[in-house]
Structure 1
Amino acid sequence: MNDFEGTGEHADAVADEALGESPEVRAFLGVGYEPLARFHDRLRDEGEVRGLIGPREVSRLWERHILNSAAVVPYLAGARSVADIGSGAGLPGIVIACMRPDLEVHLIEPMERRTAWLSEIADDLGLTNVQVKRGRAEEYHDAFEVDAVTSRAVAALSKLARMSLPLLRRGGEMVVLKGRNVAQEIDPARKVLRTFKASEPEILEGTTVPGVESTTIVRIRRG
C-alpha cells in the first residue's frame, strides 16, 4: 500500500466514524444504537483478524455493513420471529437483534469459527433474543418455523428460495438483501417459488439516513 492509499483509507475511516456518531444514525437505529456501536468497535478491532471481513471493509463498517443491514428492519414490522441464513459476522442478524429486541432471532451459520463469534457477540451485547444455530439452513427445515427469513449476499435467488421458504410459516416472508441486478434472478427462481405457492417477488428500496446509498431488498411471501 502506498502513502496515497493509506491516506485515503484513513480519511474513509474518519468519515465513517463520524457517520456512526451522527444524530441521524442514532435516531434511525433507535434502541439498537448503543449495542451496535459496540458491535462496530468489535468488528473494527477483530473482524479482519478473525476472517469475518476483508481489510478494505474496516474503514466503511457503518455505511457499507451496519446501515446496509439495518435497511431491512423496517420491512420486518409485522414479524415476531426471524431466521437469518448465513449470518457470518452478524450481518444482518445481529443488527436486526439489536434494533428489534422484541424479536426472536435465529442466526444460522455453518462455519464453527463464525458461530463462535456470533455466540460471543450475543453474550457481549446482552442479546437475550438471539439463538445461534450451527449448520446449513436445510438442516433446520423441519425444526421450526418463523415469520421472516433474512440473508445478505448468500446465494442466487433460486437457491436462496429453496433454503429459505421451508423455514417460513404460511404467510411468512423472505426479506433478503440483494444486489442491484436481482431482477435477472427472478425467472430462474420461479419453479421453486411455485412449489411453495409463493408470491411474485417484490423489489424494494431499503433506505436509512440521508447521504447513505440505498440497498435492494427482495420480499417474497410464502402462500
Structure 2
Amino acid sequence: MWTTKVGNRETQGWWNNERQYYTDYRGNSALNGAGSLDITARRAVRDSRHPCWPSGSCDYTSARLTTEGRVALGWGRIDVRAKLPTGRGLLPAIWMLGETEEIWPAQGEIDIAEVVGHEPRTAYGTAHGPGYSGPDGIGHAVDLGAPASSDYHVYSVVKEPYRIHWLVDGRPVYTLTPEMLPAGSLWVYERGMHLLLNVAVGGDWPGDPDRRTRFPATMSVDYVRMYGTGWIDGQMVHSPS
C-alpha cells in the first residue's frame, strides 16, 4: 500500500524550501513494535551529504510515505489515528493529492491535518486548488485543547460529491462546497485522491527549528482506515461504510 519518496534538492525543498531529506531508511519510518508506524525526523549524521535545496547538505532526515499509484479514495471516509510531533520548525502532515498527472494545484490537495510546530495545540485542515492555494488555501483551524504530541487524535475527512467534511475525534469541524470557492475558481476533488504522511522540517510556513526543538521528532500512526469507493492498484473497489 505504501511507498516512500526520497530526496530534497531535485524537488526544490519539496517546493517549500524544506530542510529535511526524505529517506527510505528504517530510522526514519518503521513499525515500532508496539503496533504503530513511526515517521521520525532526525538530525542528519555529520557528513551524510544528503543534497539540500538550493545547495549544501540537509541538516535533517525524515520520511514521506504515500499511497500514490496504489490506493486512492474516490468518495468515502479516511480516518487516521495519530500523535503528531510539535516544536518550532516542525510540520507533520496527513494529506491527500489528486491521482492525476496535472501540476499542483490543479490536481487538488486536501490537508486532513497539519500541525505547525510552534502552534502545538492547533490542527489545520485545508483545501488547495487553482486560484486558492498555498497561503490562500481554504480551511479551518481546530484547538485540540493540548499539544498534538501529548495524545492520539483521529483526524478524518469525508469526501462526498461536491462536498468535503473535516472531523477531529469524530466531531465535525468544517465543511467545504464549491459555492465557497473564490469566484471563477475550479472544484477539483471529483476524482481519486491518494494519501500522504510525512514530517517536514523547516520551510516557508514553520520556519527553522531552534535550540528548543527536540529531535528525534516522531509522528506515531496507530491506524489508517478508508471506507467507501476507490481504487487499489488500478481496480475500483467498494468497502462497507
TM range (shorter): 0.3 to 0.5
**If the length of structure 1 is used for normalisation, what is the TM-score?**
0.34
Higher relative contact order (CA 8 A, sep 6+): 2
Report the structure, 1 or 2, having the larger helix content: 1
**If the length of structure 2 is used for normalisation, what is the TM-score?**
0.32
Report the structure, 1 or 2, having the larger strand content: 2
